[in-house]
């Protein structure tokens, strides 16, 4: 194992504690990729040789150091590649590193009984499509004809899906990838069951991300929602946007769609986080023109609101749904 996927159990305040924890990981290896709001990938190939310990042993040292220096526990998955390490993370618990073996047969055995949703990048829609055709585990996907997978999810996606299900991990750890994303987190003062308050938190986070993207003259291609629960578990969903955007209503619609798809029923939610990924310069983005005058009016109002917030502060202009609510 040479790659670690680490998720720090940060207090529900903000992602501000992540940079210092990334610095701690960089004491072991310079090849560290941030996974905001609370995670990271670390390539330990050089560290294993330097310290004379394998990745699992180094994971124990990292956990102890995070606890001793910052009072933050973590869960860690280890594997021969980033994708396998992220799958392993789903089955890790504090104090016990979940490690995927390096031998091909052992990798296949580890993945065989995992649901297709365990693979990074496989969303609810793809998972549902595959499950409807009886391909509900990675073992079944791995043995399915390539032509079948390509017919169900597309040529490129089908080929990549089959490779991943067979343990082929072509990913790599990209240092300093944090600049390719923006995140906003909304913690609750107490575990929150009210869906209306969940939606107001999503609206607030989407508005913040939209304003920050526009200030940086960036657009994002995808949005990731993370919901943290009272038992310290979390659910993460990602959605590729119909077009790269920094338009707050479009981000809000995507966030609401992912939240509704979770089907939460009286879930005790501790915090909600949104992350915009795949940032590109706004000048390079194409916008589908519309004949809807309401859409154009909203965009003009958004520009005026941005100027007001730049002059008078971020709370100078807020959506009506956030009136009287701390954003």
d(CA 27, CA 20): 11
Burial of 134: CB neighbours in 10 Å, binned 0-12, 13-18, 19+ = exposed
Find the range with the poorest average confidence among 133-147, 172-186, 257-271. 172-186
Average pLDDT for 197-214: 90
Average pLDDT for 259-287: 84
Token output for 242: 């119909």
d(CA 80, CA 93): 19
Average pLDDT for 128-134: 91
Does 321 score more than 80 pLDDT? Answer: no
d(CA 84, CA 171): 9
Does 288 score more than 90 pLDDT? Answer: no
Does 223 score more than 80 pLDDT? Answer: yes
Token output for 112: 């065989």
Burial of 9: CB neighbours in 10 Å, binned 0-12, 13-18, 19+ = middle
Report which DSSP code applies to 2.
Answer: -
Average pLDDT for 3-14: 80
In this structure, are residues 131 and 33 in contact, taking their beta carbons and an 8 Å threshold?
no
Of 47, 59, 51, nearest to 100 by C-alpha is 59
- Report residue 327's pLDDT band, with 50, 70 and 90 as the boundaries: very low
d(CA 104, CA 99): 14
Q: Is 101 left (phi over 0), alpha (psi -120 to 50) or beta?
A: beta
Does 14 score more than 60 pLDDT? Answer: no
Report which DSSP code applies to 265.
Answer: S
Average pLDDT for 35-54: 89
Q: Give the pLDDT of residue 215.
A: 81
Q: Give the pLDDT of residue 280.
A: 83
Rg (CA), the chain: 21
């Amino acid at each position: 194992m040479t790659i670690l996927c680490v998720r720090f159990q940060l207090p529900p305040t903000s992602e501000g504690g992540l940079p210092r924890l990334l610095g701690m990981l960089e004491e072991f290896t310079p090849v560290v990729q941030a996974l905001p709001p609370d995670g990271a990938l670390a390539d330990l190939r050089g560290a294993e040789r330097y310290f004379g310990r394998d990745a699992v042993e180094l994971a124990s040292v990292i956990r102890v150091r995070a606890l001793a220096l910052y009072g933050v526990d973590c869960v860690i998955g280890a594997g021969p590649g980033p994708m396998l390490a992220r799958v392993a993370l789903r089955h890790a618990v504090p104090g016990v590193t979940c490690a995927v073996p390096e031998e091909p047969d052992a990798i296949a055995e580890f993945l065989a009984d995992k649901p297709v949703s365990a693979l990074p990048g496989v969303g609810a829609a793809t998972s549902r499509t595959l499950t409807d055709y009886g391909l509900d585990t990675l073992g079944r996907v791995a043995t399915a004809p390539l032509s079948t997978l390509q017919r169900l999810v597309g040529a490129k996606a089908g080929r990549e899906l089959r490779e991943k299900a067979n343990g082929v991990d072509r990913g790599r750890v990209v240092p300093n990838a944090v600049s390719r994303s923006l995140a906003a987190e909304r913690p609750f003062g107490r575990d929150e069951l009210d869906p209306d308050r969940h939606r107001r938190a999503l609206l607030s986070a989407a508005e913040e991300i939209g304003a920050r993207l526009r200030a940086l003259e960036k657009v994002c291609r995808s949005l990731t929602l993370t919901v943290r629960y009272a038992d310290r578990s979390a659910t993460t969903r990602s959605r590729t946007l119909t077009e790269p955007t920094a338009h707050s209503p479009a981000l809000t619609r995507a966030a609401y769609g992912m939240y509704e798809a979770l089907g939460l029923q009286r879930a005790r939610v501790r915090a909600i986080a949104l992350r915009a990924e795949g940032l590109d310069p706004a000048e390079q983005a194409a916008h589908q023109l519309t004949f809807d005058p309401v859409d154009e009016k909203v965009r003009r109002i958004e520009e005026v609101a941005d100027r007001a917030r730049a002059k008078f502060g971020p709370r100078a202009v807020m959506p009506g749904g956030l009136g009287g609510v701390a954003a």
